[in-house]
Structure 1
Amino acid sequence: MSDTEKKIADTRGQYLQAVSQGQRLTDAEWRNCRIVLTTERIALVGDSKRQIALSEIDRLTDRFDVNQQSAGVSEYVGFHVDDDVLLVTASNHAAFETDLYRAALDGAVVLAQHPALKGGVVQDTEWTKGRLKVSDETVRLALADGQAVDIDRADIGDLSVEEKQVSGAERTVIQVEHSEDDISVETHLAGEEFQATVLRTMLEDSAEANRADLDLSATEKRVIMALHSGVSPFDIPNFVGIDVEKTEAIFDRLVELDVISVLRERTEVALTTKGRRVAGDRMGEQ
């Protein structure tokens, strides 16, 4: 281990070689191992020792069910390295995933545009450098201008990925929607290929966990869109074209569905993560 390499985690788990040199191994089995994770590599120590340099990982996946052995495990990480795929599961898998994200991203410098959108409105914000810090709950971005942006992983309403020109190069841009002071904002992030791969995987997992799947009426969706665009709850009846009693009934239903939360009893509401997700889906339909 080099002077700069630091150990992040040391735990027990299993690994399964799903693909070797491009060939799917349908008879592969899980093997018990010790998992040592550092800032530079992951080592799997069992009957033999396997090492994967973090910089060599092409992408991560949460499912790659090559056979019944792999399908029978509920949580694992799939490491795609060249023509190989290695599946790894830890005894405390949620903690291991966070440690993996920390190993790959803590201290990484990325390009950020924050906020790129605010309340659904495009902002004239320049790209700037930022340094990442990952925890169980948040992704913190320390920007070069002194701003500290906290993206709550449980507050991510939507996420999309595009290839764009950023600072004179074609880059993968991760567009993540979250909230600041109860206002929907969108932060755009771009980095080196490996960092972008890990960051995208982590944020997609959070977005998927927060995904809204609700049966809402057209009027309820219009109320959500109005709140998303910054209309005051007091102005919803006139803005949407419904009476106060109907508005109150819709608010009650949306509170029950965890789409909005009450800030002041019967007077003020704000969209939750699920509500912002509905608004994002609605905007995509228009």
Structure 2
Amino acid sequence: MSDTERKIADTRGQYLLAVQGGQRLTDADWRDCRIVLTNQRIALIEEEKRQIPLSGIDRIADRFDVNQKSASVADYLALHVEEDVLLVSAADQDGFETDFYRAALDEEVIFVRHPAIEGGVVQDTEWTKGRVKVTDRALRLALADGQAVAVERADIGSLTVEERTVSGAERTVVEVEHSEDGVSVETHLAGEGLHATVLEVMLAESAERNRADLDLSNTEQRVIMALHSGVSPFDVPEFVGIDVDRTEEIFDRLIELDAISVVRERTEVQLTSKGRRVAGQGVGER
């Protein structure tokens, strides 16, 4: 992290001290405050100022409902700091959370494997270092080998998190599925401490928003699988064994369900994050 402290956000909000010294405070209530976020700390300012160095945050979470008062607020960020837990809710929570992700991750270096999987095929890709930048729409990575990788937050299909040894140390590995030029790829990210927990929460939140909940027929599922395996939309009728009119009807339905999107002409389509999730679930069931 840069030695020069710079302000990232200054907004109004509220906070609730849910745990203090390891003890859950079931009578805790929200306190109005000014929230000042820099690349080094978060300050919660009311009559007194409570300052939390970002380096002192052990992990973050999106929920920690200690009582009904905390459960009544739809969106907040839970900061775990040693034996304390503070819940922070801003007037523009989405904007504040992105600012927090930026404060924790921008210009930091993590380990990256890209692409770890491409088009369903495992790649022989080594771990390399990558410098991180967070925007409203994407997690951007500048890799040591010169690659520039963008993981669009609205394009994440699935997410897996596990502990693994990377570069001789135990690290949290986040395996995120997204797309590049219409092809499904997986990018693996490895970090420690605050970097790891922020990556996990940020990308898991995006994956949850994109989660598919589709009721597809067997034929519609086969169309999804065909597109996922690289079959051209023009070849889908012959590959699946249905006529062109039926294929067009299925494309119409999948477009309405946001499982595919039109690329150029009416019949040229590609899978969205929802469609890739359905395909991934289909692969796992076979």
Residues 135-156 of structure 1 deviation map (CA, whole Å, 9 limit, x = unaligned): 1111110011111111111111
1:274 offset after TM fit, Å?
1.4
The answer (yes or no) to whether the contact 2:248–2:267 under 8 Å persists in 1 is no
Return the alpha-carbon distance in structure 2 between the equivalents of residues 282 and 6 of structure 1: 47
Could you tell me how far 1:263 is from its partner in structure 2? Answer: 2.0
Matched with 2:187 is 187
How far off its partner does 1:238 sit?
A: 2.8
1:78 alignment partner, SS class: strand
Return the alpha-carbon distance in structure 2 between the equivalents of residues 3 and 145 of structure 1: 26
Q: Write the letter of the residue equivalent to 1:119.
A: G
Q: Which runs of 4+ in 1 moved over 3 A?
A: none
Give the Cα–Cα distance (whole angstroms) in 2 for the partners of residues 267 and 24 of structure 1.
57
Letter in 1 for 2:140: R
Q: Amino acid of the residue matched to residue 66 of structure 2?
A: V
The residue matched to 1:70 in structure 2 has which SS?
Answer: helix
- Whether 1:137 aligns to 2:137 is yes
What are structure 2's unaligned runs of at least 5 residues?
none
Percent identity for Structure 1 against Structure 2: 72
Q: Are 1:222 and 2:249 matched, yes or no?
A: no
* Change beyond 3 A, Cα 1:3–1:200: closer
Question: Which residue type is aligned with residue 283 of structure 2?
Answer: M
Q: Contact 2:14 / 2:33 at 8 angstroms: preserved in 1?
A: yes
TM, length-normalised to structure 1: 0.95
Distance 2:148 2:275 in 1: 25
Amino acid at match of 1:188: H
Over the aligned positions, Cα root-mean-square deviation in angstroms equals 1.5
Closer, same or farther: CA 270–53 of 1 in aligned 2, 3 Å: same
Give the letter for the 2:15 counterpart: Y
How many angstroms does 1:65 deviate by?
A: 1.4
| Greater shift in the superposed pair: 179-188 or 57-66 | 57-66
What is the CA distance between 1:131 and its match in structure 2?
Answer: 0.2
Query: In the alignment, what sits opposite 1:11?
Result: 11
**TM-score, normalised to structure 2's length?**
0.95
Structure 2 equivalent of residue 153 of structure 1: 153
- Alpha-carbon distance in 1 for matches of 2:279, 2:110: 28
- Say which is worse superposed, 116-125 or 264-273, in terms of deviation: 264-273
Q: Bigger CA drift: 24-33 or 216-225?
A: 216-225
Q: How many Å separate the matches in 2 of 1:59 and 1:3?
A: 22
1:23 alignment counterpart: 23
The answer to whether residue 58 in structure 2 is matched with residue 53 in structure 1 is no
- Are 1:244 and 2:244 matched, yes or no? yes
> What's the secondary structure of 2:263's corresponding residue?
strand
What are structure 1's unaligned runs of at least 5 residues?
A: none
The DSSP-based 3-state class of the residue aligned with 1:264 is coil
Q: Secondary structure at the match of 1:196?
A: helix
Q: What displacement does 1:3 show? A: 5.5
Q: Secondary structure at the match of 2:101?
A: helix
